[in-house]
Amino acid sequence: MDPLPAGPVLRVLEPGPLCLLQDLGRRTGLGMGLPRAGALDRASLRLANRLVGNPETAAGLELLGGGLVVQVMADTVLAFCGAPAPVLVDGRPEPSHTALPVRAGAQVRVGRPSHGLRVLLGVAGGLAGDLLAGSVSSSPTAGLGRAPLRAGDVLDSAGLATGPWTATDLGLAAAAVGGGSDGLMLGVFAGPRDDWFTPAARALFVATPWLVSPECDRVGMRLQARHHPAQVGLERLVTGELPSEAVIPGSVQVPPDGRPVVFLADHPTTGGYPVIGVVDPADLDVLGQVRPGDELRFEWRINPGLTKCRRVLL
């Protein structure tokens, strides 16, 4: 189809707790110290873009805890994916996880998610932003990209060519949101410094139910043991710090207190604490939806592409 006209498409009336312009993040720039950034739940952003007919790489909005209120400034199609949240268009309830045609002048309000944490909004034609290393994504902690949205901000359409929008998508069946009291099992590959830890610590890492502490944001999340959190830490064979080395999203770094920290999209590009494991990229999106207090567990996986890989056998 022809590209949609560029120009104002949404005016922010209330931004909610944190509303960020995000695409799938940067594929380059790590060597310059730029974080990948991008939506924490990239699968849900891809789904939202598919629903409105966009390329999957188009930029949309990431809403922390809902709360967004916008005025639509041009006829468009919206899709709210990720954490399920109530959507009102001029006070009329509308479903999430579906394509939603809206007219210019309409007011759209997003409520608090029933579970999960982040709502991803796709807009037909995508949203415009300044490219940096191939991405328009915001990284507030690094001061990159557009600042968190405020009341009165106007978002322009990127004017991307769109295909037919669709009422639903089979990808929805695979969408995972939220951790909840039952917990999540995440695959993890042996990290580059797993040999800095005792065999007992490596076993404890996968045997322990971990809770997401309140110390969590787009940089990462600190974990604490569900049972006796003050006593459970991962014991090291090698003490001290190592020279800073590259880390990637999903790296599980262990500082001296023994409590793991899982890095997310806005993580620093290097770190000086040993990485015991790296979360399977296929499981990363769900970490964008867990809340403080949710339970996580890990299981060792073997990467068949590696010639050498350690695995703890319990």
Residue 286 is part of a domain; what is its CATH number?
Answer: 2.40.100.10
Mean pLDDT of the chain: 87
pTM of the model: 0.89
Residue 115 lies in a domain: yes
**Residue 289 domain-assigned (yes or no):** yes
Question: Distance between CA atoms of 9 and 75, rounded to whole angstroms?
Answer: 8
Query: 226 falls in which pLDDT band (50, 70, 90)?
Result: confident
Lowest mean pLDDT among 60-64, 232-236, 261-265, 302-306: 302-306
Q: Do 26 and 165 share a domain, yes or no?
A: yes
| pLDDT attached to residue 4 | 64
Would you state the pLDDT for residue 30?
66
The domain tally of the chain equals 2
Query: How would residue 257 be classed by pLDDT, with cut points 50, 70 and 90?
Result: confident
**Confidence (pLDDT) at 310:** 38
**Same domain, residue pair 62 and 195:** no
Q: What is the mean pLDDT of residues 131-145?
A: 88
Collapsing DSSP to helix, strand or coil, 127 comes out as strand
Residues 201 and 289 occupy one common structural domain? yes
Q: How far apart (Å, rounded) are the C-alpha atoms in residues 281 and 285?
A: 8
Q: pLDDT tens across 31-77, in order?
A: 667 888 899 999 999 999 999 999 999 999 999 999 999 999 999 99
State whether 38 and 168 are in the same domain. yes
CA distance 138 to 24: 11
Q: With beta carbons less than 8 A apart as the criterion, state whether 239 and 263 touch.
A: no
Residue 156 lies in a domain: yes
pLDDT category of residue 230 using cuts at 50, 70 and 90:
low
Give mean pLDDT, residues 215-236. Answer: 82
Is 65 among the domain residues? yes
241 and 102 fall within a common domain? no
The confidence score (pLDDT) of residue 306 equals: 47
| 306 inside domain | no
Does position 313 have pLDDT exceeding 60, yes or no?
no
Secondary structure of residue 236 in the 3-state scheme: strand
Comparison of pLDDT for 19 and 304, the residue scoring more:
19
Same domain, 151 and 205: no
> What is the Cα–Cα distance from 69 to 90, expressed in whole angstroms?
11
Asked whether residue 235 is assigned to any structural domain, the reply reads yes
Structural domain boundaries, residue 157: 7-174
Segment 169-217, tens digit of pLDDT: 555 544 445 444 457 899 999 999 999 999 999 999 999 999 999 999 9
Whether residue 290 is predicted with pLDDT greater than 70 in this model: the reply is yes
